[in-house]
Amino acid sequence: MEGAEENPAESSSSAPRSEEPAGSAKGREVLPPEEPEGCARPLETTPKKLCGYLSKFGGKGPIRGWKSRWFFYDERKCHLYYSRTAQDANPLDSIDVSSAVFDCKADAEEGTFEIKTPSRIITLKAATKQAMLYWLQQLQMKRWEFHNSPPAPPATPDAALAGNGPALRLELEQEEAELEEFLCPVKTPPGLVGLAAASQPVPTMPLALQNISLKHLGTEIQNTMHNIRSNKQTQGTGHAPPGEDSPLSEEPQSEEQPSSPDPGTPGLIRNRTAQEKVLALEQQVLMLTKELKAQKELVKILHKALEAAQQEKRVSSMYLAAAEDKDRLELVRHKVRQIAELGRRVEALEQERESLVQTASLQEQQVQELQQHVQLLMDKNQAKQQVICKLSEKVTQDFMRPLATPDAANRDFLSQQEKMEHLKDDMEAYRTQNRFLNSEIHQVTKIWRKVAEKERALLMKCAYLQAKNCQMESKYLAGLRRLQEAMGGEASECSELLRQLIQEALQWEAGDSSADSVVLSPVRVPLTRDFAGSEYDEYGFLTVPNYEVEDLKLLAKIQALEVHSHHLLAHEAVERPLRERWAALGELAPSAELKQLLRAGVPHEHRPHIWRWLVRFRVQHLQAPGRYQELLSRSQACKHPAARQIELDLNRTFPNNKHFTCPTSSFPDKLRRVLLAFSWQNPTIGYCQGLNRLAAIALLVLDEEESAFWCLVAIVEVIMPADYYSKTLLASQVDQRVLQDLLSEKLPRLMAHLGQHRVDLSFITFNWFLVVFADSLISNILFQVWDAFLYEGTKVVFRYALAIFKYNEEAILRLQDGLEIYQYLRFFTKTICNSQKLMNIAFNDMNPFPMKQLWQLRTAHRERLEAELHELEQFKAEYLETRTCQGPAVPESCTSEDEGDLEA
């Protein structure tokens, strides 16, 4: 119920009420007792004094809640005053009703309503819904009367008033009768509103302290002292109970006020029986007891503050009284510890404040949106208010206008009735139109949803057809290759035709013929065009490597088609849910969920951020501000012995990546600086072949030299075992032997087959471990391996090495020649296209894979290898010692070069 939308009937009631005599100083509306019986008001309108107990919501901290307050209305100022009890001498505060808006929300607690002024919002609660409606109706009428009543007329002789009395009373009676017909007033709740409510007991609160207003503590103390003095006077003189002479308003009585007590004050109710007085005294004693308890609680709080101050004073006195500097120093240290503790608490509170500020900003945005919505509703309400005001003015004019002839009145009544009928018809038409528009909106929404679902289904079907097309192309190319191998050089014409078909397949590019499918496909792999016209993935690797041998070109084309096919088929089922999980992931922290997400692969847009966190997590104990710049300065000032080897390896780094082959690219210079800085960071290693590819992978993802440098430090010095990149490559050799044991355990058939043909896998797998598959796997699988490797360590490298052999186990078992097996193992990692299948083999089929077993195997093989190397060193030393003892042996028939020179 908005106060702005006033009932037209309320405006009509302002005219007769504004003609009351000026002698009613405090807005009393009780008519003289001599009023004729025919003009008597209904019983529902009494009592005329607007006052009673309401619950007010307010306070701060632990005492915030509902507080019982006595409210009374002052018509001269149009203010609603309130105090804690009806007997208080001074009110706590007042509410300006003249500019207030009243609101009663449907979803609020029963009896709750709000009074909104330009400066604040006051939430009140009545005991019943009827009492709430009565207060709202009366406050609206008081506000309307205050704004529309003319100033009090000057005093007139009693004879004039007596002469106009009957006519005035008749007019008032007619207007009020018409008002009651138009708007049924709410019946006065018995015992809840009016002077009778003051004799009722004060509503009890859960805590006595909760009902005290700390904001107006001075007024509370004055009222308490006033009640105590009144109580003492009453007990001493036997007069009426305390509070009977307490005014309900802070306004002083005017001089025109009669000397008799104010009939609106509850303390001046006369002819009260002795039993009622006793009840009032008991109620007063109970109220004073509760107030005393509240005052005691307040005193306890003040005592605590005083004790804290005394404690501080004692500490200061101890400091001043300390005889030795040692004692003073201990006191100072104690204070420093307290200050540090407070500092930590302040930091925690600051973090909490920042989170609250962020929450507040979000809520502020929501508030702005709601304010815009409220502004629209206010504009609409303003328009309605203007219409209501116009209608109210018209109704008021009609009521004030002298009655015309009966015929004219009937004609006006008929015309008004006809207009009402037309308005009802218009309302019914608008309702019908609204229902029709709602049905139209519902139908359009259903059609839109069906179209969206159909579009999604078509896009998925398009992706599926593209995947099938890629599969058919790869099968076609594989068939051409097998046919060419089977025919050999038997039929020259057929061989020439096959070579021509293969050449066309290799040179074919997705151009105009596939333009439509590229537009329709929502999961098209993002490709870019290099200056040479080749296609690259998001990290700059060629999707189809430019091999010189035609068979390898054909295999690379088949592989690219299969990769694209797997990507299209897995997008909806795997990649989209994975991206949603990464987007919903909050602050990064080590957890089982993060491990599973990293094993499944990090999306391209999140990978730089995730890798930076992983590197910082690994090397946070090694990082120092400005360390990288210091190493760069040292490399520029002094040339490192490994600089020449670094320059040689720069040109051999990823020849299939445009970032390292383009003459204008900045990546080679970045890679040079990273490797030189690392050579000074770790002088025991300096530089080892393979570090260039590790740093290059880090640069492709992180794109920052310093981040790539610390990534290389994390791999070499933290993740990999010691001596992995040393001159002897001791730990690398140990891992090759560990891999042999794990292969014998997990894939016994394959190892037996390789052992039968005397195939040494270390020739193939040694480089896998040294560069973490950088030269072996295609880019999308390679970066997925690195995602898990940076988090879990070298265990991931063993898992994927076993998974690669498991993935191609059947193909290797079909080969029956050692040389053929070696040729197949050179490129078989490039044939792996299904990253999801490889990941499932690595982390599911290879289980159990305990880290304890890995460390035990490493320890055992390291001891054996060190023993072998020690034995080899002994053999070498013995050999050198034997050569030294024998000396240079020269046959007698031969002369040395020196002797020949002398003879010459």
Tokens of 886: 């024998």
Is residue 2 within 8 A of residue 103, CB to CB? The reply is: yes
The β-bridge partners of 528 are 536
Is residue 11 within 8 A of residue 395, CB to CB? The reply is: yes
Residues of the chain with pLDDT > 90, as a percent, come to 26
For residues 865-888, average pLDDT: 85
pLDDT at 824 over 80: yes
User: Rounded to whole angstroms, how far apart are CA atoms 243 and 87?
Assistant: 4
Give the pLDDT score at 357. Answer: 93
Tokens of 46: 């009494």
For residues 622-647, average pLDDT: 89
pLDDT at 580 over 90: no
Give the pLDDT score at 507. Answer: 56
515 or 120, which is more confident: 120
- What are the tens digits of pLDDT across the range 611-625? 999 999 999 998 888
Q: CB 740: neighbour CB atoms within 10 A? A: 18
Give the pLDDT score at 485. Answer: 63
Confidence of residue 162 (pLDDT cuts 50, 70, 90): very low
Give the pLDDT score at 566. Answer: 56
Give the pLDDT score at 751. Answer: 94
Phi, psi values for residue 125, rounded to 5°: -145, 125
Give the pLDDT score at 109. Answer: 82
pLDDT at 520 over 50: no
Q: CB 515: neighbour CB atoms within 10 A? A: 10
Tell me what the pLDDT averaged over the chain comes to. Answer: 76
User: Domains plus CATH for the chain?
Assistant: 49-149+186-201 (2.30.29.30), 278-394 (no CATH), 592-719 (1.10.8.270), 723-781+791-879 (1.10.472.80)
- What are the tens digits of pLDDT across the range 717-757? 999 998 899 888 999 999 999 999 999 999 999 999 999 99
Confidence of residue 283 (pLDDT cuts 50, 70, 90): confident
pLDDT at 595 over 50: yes
User: Rounded to whole angstroms, how far apart are CA atoms 124 and 524?
Assistant: 62
User: Rounded to whole angstroms, how far apart are CA atoms 143 and 148?
Assistant: 9
Residues of the chain with pLDDT > 70, as a percent, come to 69
In a 3-state reduction of DSSP, which class is residue 465? helix
pLDDT at 20 over 50: no
The β-bridge relationship of strands 535-536 and 528-529 is antiparallel
- What are the tens digits of pLDDT across the range 565-576? 555 555 555 677
For 141-145, 645-649, 692-696, which range has the lowest pLDDT when averaged over its residues?
A: 141-145
- What are the tens digits of pLDDT across the range 264-275? 444 444 445 777
Packing angle, helices 795-807 and 762-771, rounded to 10? 140
User: Rounded to whole angstroms, how far apart are CA atoms 832 and 781?
Assistant: 9
In a 3-state reduction of DSSP, which class is residue 66? strand
User: Rounded to whole angstroms, how far apart are CA atoms 399 and 172?
Assistant: 11
CA nearest neighbour of 392 among 618, 554, 179, 146: 179
Using CA atoms, how far residue 741 sits from 256, 548, 746, 754, 808, in Å, is 114, 37, 9, 14, 19
For residues 238-257, average pLDDT: 40
For 51-65, 155-169, 499-513, which range has the lowest pLDDT when averaged over its residues?
A: 155-169
Confidence of residue 356 (pLDDT cuts 50, 70, 90): very high
287 Cα distance to chain centroid: 49
Give the pLDDT score at 712. Answer: 95
Length of the chain: 904
pLDDT at 337 over 70: yes
Query: Interior CA angle at 831 toward 827 and 832, to 5°?
Result: 125
CA nearest neighbour of 803 among 775, 823, 784: 784
For 32-36, 491-495, 532-536, 816-820, which range has the lowest pLDDT when averaged over its residues?
A: 32-36
351 or 268, which is more confident: 351
10 or 865, which is more confident: 865
739 Cα distance to chain centroid: 46
Tokens of 842: 């690595």
- For the entire predicted model, the pTM comes to 0.46
Give the pLDDT score at 533. Answer: 37
pLDDT at 463 over 70: no
For residues 252-281, average pLDDT: 53
User: Rounded to whole angstroms, how far apart are CA atoms 670 and 666?
Assistant: 6
- What are the tens digits of pLDDT across the range 200-246? 777 766 555 556 666 677 777 777 777 777 766 655 554 444 433 44
Give the pLDDT score at 474. Answer: 65
Using CA atoms, how far residue 284 sits from 176, 243, 266, in Å, is 41, 9, 14
DSSP letter assigned to residue 193: B
